[in-house]
């Protein structure tokens, strides 16, 4: 497992040819494409991830709002890779990369040598240094995040109901039944729409004693409108649709502080909210800094148009962590389609190198954008700028997301859940889990 | 909310009639039956539980073995109670009962007054004082237990695979891919059968590099055979079936010690096992002792044949926590059917009291027993002692369990999962979740 200087001509000390070893960091959309693209090549591929499952991030907001179960959008990486005989998996976290020795260090103290390294570690959340945000606001990037948001909202409703019962007639502390969503992009819009429906279609029946005029969903957006990746009338449509569903807005307002009772805005307004979802501020995974090469906007790794790290052609960075520039100089957006297409190209670069061919530049084929606003309502925009809103766009959104889910089982489960939710106006299991002492129950080691 | 001495004639200080208040502790099978049985009565019912969901315990072992998702067998209590207008829910843990003042104390410091109290807090696990068992053996009574068993087994397989890769050719530490199941009753048999299938049908493909002759499932039973609640040939059938599926047995052996590497038996044998499932030793919930009245076997509360606490006709204890004796003097078994039938009677006793009628004695209608041994194999025994084994019994088992699940959504999800598992030999999401530092990943607050 020692690294060689020339991957294509790999061999060990005894001169016996050795299969080149490709290590892929991250089992997201980008990382899985590499494994698929190299499945028939004469290389050994090792995928390393901190989780033993691939998360389908576009549907995380549905787990956070109790529409789907966590396992519906997670697929074990080993299950996905089973069919590729030359691809292995390693559960662990990369804490160091020695570019000279071509070696990774993992958190458990072990090391992995590589001939090619493809870094697809993705993005994480930045709180822009807003005081209290990292402690009290909840990001929505991982399964654990989504489960914690669900738990926090439901536990706050229980607390409100407890307060109502303890002192009948008295007002429930404000904000307990409020969710503040920071960020009016696609994640913020989808999350707000799903919470509005959860409140008005489901929780209103779960908590008949609570005053649901106090159950608020508030989107806070520093810009002047929603969905700024789309044409302006699309953002307008989303805003009108959400407003009809009782979502409130604060535009042109930055968050200056988050604490356990809510948020403070740059306008001076204070919004009480037991749950603050942070759907703003994506930044590259810290692995970008660990690599010790040049970085661009938000900690992304500066790469050539071939996705290779300058000076290290055997290292590629792809997906949300890659700071690859389009021919016009702008960086590609941090979306799934870019990650998937870069994953395909990275696999192709290695296949070409094995055949002695030069790498190709990355060319992004924009397939357009889509987002749901809620039941029967979605928005869609083609690369050419054509747009569609409403029911047909919503059906299209459902279709595209079911197709892109990884695994037959997950597709079946999600379809059953969506059909059930649509027909009954009910949601999935609204579990307060794992239970926490703050929910009114002691931790009991006996059960 | 002050308690009155005579519930049937309840009223407040001003002489205005007040609806009697029934407090039910526990939202298990027994507790839910009370709510249902009182839904049309002129009483207020409050159900108190530590969790906001009802757990369908008979299928916990399928969550532990990655066959089902946690939410498939959990249903929010508020969702179940939505249709009963006079029934409320309170999330919290009861830490004290003042029988004289007719008042409960909850862990969060609040109190709840009652006119009738029905205690249905269920059972927990006892480790019989075996050294190390409470620290290292995993019970299977709650959703958190099941998820922890799943996490532990999968994390140990990852550890084994890591060890294999770190030193190729060297033997993997023994026990990493072994599950020891303590107890050969229905839970032990079902769990062992499900693990055997998980290993030989699923994980063998997830971990192609591991030696699966070392992936062992071992049932440890102090008695001489399996399923002692059934006729002897049923236990024999279960043993033969499991043996064909590579399950091993240690009969007549007690566990004398559990540590992080495995178990020690009274025979002196040491069995290395990374995961020890404790499917032996049910004991009543500690609430039985908190009541401060007489207890029987395993901490159960001694009650009259009417399920009432002697000297406190307004307090009933039902389900696994009840020490109710059959006419022949034996205590009823701690099974779902007894709990359900006692719940129905408890509701009826309150309905009768409201009409000035005397309580009735509990009469158990035994509906027989059934348990799965694995794919296409189950056992069934009627109260008359007639038995059935094999495929037909297995189909009967599936049918009975789907019917008894609470909620249409859960029934749909479980049917889809079972059909998928049966046809593909695959399982549900094998998530190592929540991730733990012991799994080789650092806790990272950023994601």
How many whole angstroms separate alpha carbon B87 and alpha carbon B176?
Answer: 48
User: How many other C-beta atoms lie within 10 A of the C-beta of residue B39?
Assistant: 16
The CA distance from A361 to the nearest CA of chain B, in Å, is 31
pLDDT at A436: 57
Instruction: With CB atoms and an 8 Å threshold, state whether A441 touches B416.
Output: no
pLDDT at B14: 52
Instruction: With CB atoms and an 8 Å threshold, state whether A416 touches B412.
Output: yes
Inform me whether the pLDDT recorded for A27 exceeds 70.
Answer: yes
CATH number for position B224 = 3.50.50.100
Inform me whether the pLDDT recorded for B431 exceeds 70.
Answer: yes
* Nearest Cα to Cα of residue B324 among B119, B54, B96: B119
- Residue ending a domain, choose from A354, A384, A413: A354
Number of domains making up chain B: 3
B30 belongs to a structural domain: yes
Q: Chain B: residue nearest A49 by CA?
A: B441
Inform me whether the pLDDT recorded for A382 exceeds 60.
Answer: yes
pLDDT at B360: 98
B445 belongs to a structural domain: no
Summarize the confidence of residues A412-439 as an average pLDDT: 82
pLDDT at A435: 65
pLDDT at A149: 96
Tens digits of residue pLDDT in A253-301: 999 999 999 999 999 999 999 999 999 988 899 888 889 899 888 889 9
Which of A74, A417, A441 is the closest to B92 by Cβ?
A: A441
Three-state secondary structure call for residue A107: coil
Beta bridge partners of A284: A123
Inform me whether the pLDDT recorded for A195 exceeds 60.
Answer: yes
Task: Please name the residue that has the structure tokens 């919470």.
Answer: A195
pLDDT at B12: 47
A430 belongs to a structural domain: no
* Nearest Cα to Cα of residue B447 among A319, A301, A64, A140: A140
Least confident of A168-177, B175-184, B212-221, B432-441: B432-441
B51 and B194 co-located in one domain: no
B47 and B67 co-located in one domain: yes
B55 belongs to a structural domain: yes
**Which residues of chain B lie closer than 8 angstroms to A85, CB-CB?**
208
Q: Which residues of B367-378 are buried (b: 16+ CB within 10 A; e: fewer)?
A: eebbbbbbbebb
- Is the Cβ of B267 closer than 8 Å to some Cβ of chain A? no
Inform me whether the pLDDT recorded for A307 exceeds 60.
Answer: yes
Interface size A-B, in CB pairs within 8 Å, comes to 209
Tens digits of residue pLDDT in A74-130: 999 999 999 999 999 999 999 999 999 999 999 999 999 999 999 999 999 999 999
Instruction: With CB atoms and an 8 Å threshold, state whether B431 touches A52.
Output: yes
A59 and A91 co-located in one domain: yes
Tens digits of residue pLDDT in A2-14: 333 344 444 444 5
- Residue ending a domain, choose from A329, A354, A379: A354
User: How many other C-beta atoms lie within 10 A of the C-beta of residue B281?
Assistant: 18
* Nearest Cα to Cα of residue B414 among A227, A420, A246: A420
Tens digits of residue pLDDT in B306-336: 999 999 999 999 999 999 999 998 999 999 9
Q: Is A290 in contact with A324 (CB distance < 8 Å)? A: no
B89 belongs to a structural domain: yes
What are the residue numbers of the active site of B? 190
The first and second tokens of residue A400, run together, are 């595209």
A110 and A138 co-located in one domain: no
B161 and B267 co-located in one domain: yes
Instruction: With CB atoms and an 8 Å threshold, state whether A53 touches B429.
Output: yes
Helix (H) / strand (E) containing A103 = strand A103-106
- Mean per-residue pLDDT of chain A: 91
A224 and A104 co-located in one domain: no
Summarize the confidence of residues B227-243 as an average pLDDT: 96
pLDDT at B16: 63
Inform me whether the pLDDT recorded for B281 exceeds 70.
Answer: yes
Instruction: With CB atoms and an 8 Å threshold, state whether B106 touches A209.
Output: no
Summarize the confidence of residues B51-56 as an average pLDDT: 96
A360 belongs to a structural domain: no
Distance linking the first and last C-alpha atoms of chain A:
46
Higher pLDDT, A429 or A383: A383
A120 and A141 co-located in one domain: no
- By residue count, chain A amounts to 447
A168 and A296 co-located in one domain: no
pLDDT at B68: 95
Predicted confidence band at A245 (pLDDT cuts at 50, 70, 90)?
very high
A1 belongs to a structural domain: no
Tens digits of residue pLDDT in B57-101: 999 999 999 999 999 999 999 999 999 999 999 999 999 999 999
pLDDT at B8: 43
Summarize the confidence of residues B265-271 as an average pLDDT: 97
The CA distance from A442 to the nearest CA of chain B, in Å, is 7
A310 and A190 co-located in one domain: no
**DSSP letter for each residue of A264-314:** EETTS-EEE-SEEEE---EEE-THHHHHTS-B-GGGPEE--TTSEETTEEE
Kindly report the pTM of this predicted structure: 0.92
The interface predicted TM-score of the complex, written ipTM, equals: 0.90
* Nearest Cα to Cα of residue A178 among A161, A195, A163, A190: A195
CATH number for position A335 = 3.50.50.60
Higher pLDDT, A429 or B133: B133
B58 and B76 co-located in one domain: yes
A435 belongs to a structural domain: no
- Is the Cβ of B431 closer than 8 Å to some Cβ of chain A? yes
How does DSSP classify residue A199? Answer: I
**Which residues of chain A lie closer than 8 angstroms to B79, CB-CB?**
206, 426, 430
Which of B409, B435, B446 is the closest to A428 by Cβ?
A: B409
Peptide bond preceding B434 in cis form (omega within 30 of 0):
yes
Peptide bond preceding A434 in cis form (omega within 30 of 0):
yes
pLDDT at B348: 98
- Is the Cβ of A101 closer than 8 Å to some Cβ of chain B? no
How many whole angstroms separate alpha carbon A216 and alpha carbon A249?
Answer: 11
Predicted confidence band at B358 (pLDDT cuts at 50, 70, 90)?
very high
B206 and B293 co-located in one domain: no
pLDDT at A184: 97
- Residue ending a domain, choose from B262, B280, B298: B280
Task: Please name the residue that has the structure tokens 């799934």.
Answer: A336
Predicted confidence band at A17 (pLDDT cuts at 50, 70, 90)?
confident
Tens digits of residue pLDDT in A308-363: 999 999 999 999 999 999 999 899 999 999 999 999 999 999 999 999 999 999 99
Residue range(s) defining the domain that contains residue B393 = 367-422
A290 and A271 co-located in one domain: no
Summarize the confidence of residues A31-37 as an average pLDDT: 96
Inform me whether the pLDDT recorded for A134 exceeds 70.
Answer: yes
pLDDT at B103: 96
What are the residue numbers of the active site of A? 190
The first and second tokens of residue B159, run together, are 């550890």
- CB interface of A with B, residues 396-415, below 8 Å: 408-410, 412-413
- Mean per-residue pLDDT of chain B: 91
- Is the Cβ of B114 closer than 8 Å to some Cβ of chain A? no
pLDDT at A288: 87
Predicted confidence band at B5 (pLDDT cuts at 50, 70, 90)?
very low
How many whole angstroms separate alpha carbon B328 and alpha carbon B332?
Answer: 10
């Amino acid at each position: 497992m020692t690294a060689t200087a020339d991957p294509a001509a790999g061999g060990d000390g005894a001169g016996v040819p050795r299969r080149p070893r490709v290590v892929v960091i991250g089992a997201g959309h980008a990382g899985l494409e590499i494994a698929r693209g190299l499945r028939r090549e004469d290389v050994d591929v090792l995928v390393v991830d901190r989780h033993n499952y691939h998360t389908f991030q576009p549907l995380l907001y549905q787990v956070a709002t109790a529409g789907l179960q966590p396992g519906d959008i997670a697929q074990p990486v080993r299950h996905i890779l089973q069919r590729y005989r030359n691809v292995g998996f390693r559960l662990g976290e990369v804490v160091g990369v020695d570019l000279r020795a071509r070696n990774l260090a993992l958190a458990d103290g072990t090391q992995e040598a590589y001939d090619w390294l493809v870094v697809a570690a993705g993005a994480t959340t930045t709180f822009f240094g807003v005081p209290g945000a990292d402690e009290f606001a909840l990001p929505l990037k991982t399964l654990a995040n989504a489960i914690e948001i669900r738990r926090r909202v439901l536990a706050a409703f229980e607390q409100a109901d407890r307060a109502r019962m303890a002192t009948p007639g008295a007002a429930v502390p404000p904000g307990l039944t409020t969710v503040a969503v920071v960020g009016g992009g696609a994640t913020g819009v989808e999350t707000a729409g799903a919470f509005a429906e959860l409140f008005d279609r489901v929780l209103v029946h779960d908590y008949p004693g609570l005053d649901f005029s106090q159950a608020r969903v508030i989107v806070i957006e520093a810009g002047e409108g929603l969905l700024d990746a789309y044409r302006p009338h699309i953002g307008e449509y989303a805003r009108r649709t959400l407003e009809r569903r009782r979502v409130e807005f604060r535009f042109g307002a930055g968050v200056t502080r988050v604490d356990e009772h809510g948020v403070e805005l740059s306008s001076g307004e204070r919004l009480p909210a037991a749950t603050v979802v942070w759907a703003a501020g994506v930044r590259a995974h810290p692995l970008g800094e660990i690599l010790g090469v040049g970085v661009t906007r938000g900690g992304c790794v500066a790469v050539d148009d071939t996705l290779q790290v300058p000076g290290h052609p055997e290292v590629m960075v792809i997906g949300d962590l890659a700071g690859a520039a389009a021919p016009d100089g702008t960086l590609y957006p941090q979306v799934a389609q870019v990650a998937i297409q870069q994953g395909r190209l990275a696999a192709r670069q290695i296949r070409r190198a094995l055949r002695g061919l030069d790498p190709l530049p990355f060319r992004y084929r924009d397939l357009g954008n889509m987002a749901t606003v809620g039941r029967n309502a979605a928005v869609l925009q083609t690369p050419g700028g054509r747009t569609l809103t409403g029911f047909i766009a919503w059906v299209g959104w459902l279709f595209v997301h079911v197709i892109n889910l990884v695994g037959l089982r997950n597709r079946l489960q999600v379809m059953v859940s969506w059909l059930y939710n649509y027909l009954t106006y009910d949601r999935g299991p609204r579990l307060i889990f794992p239970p926490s002492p703050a929910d009114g129950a002691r931790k009991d080691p006996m059960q």
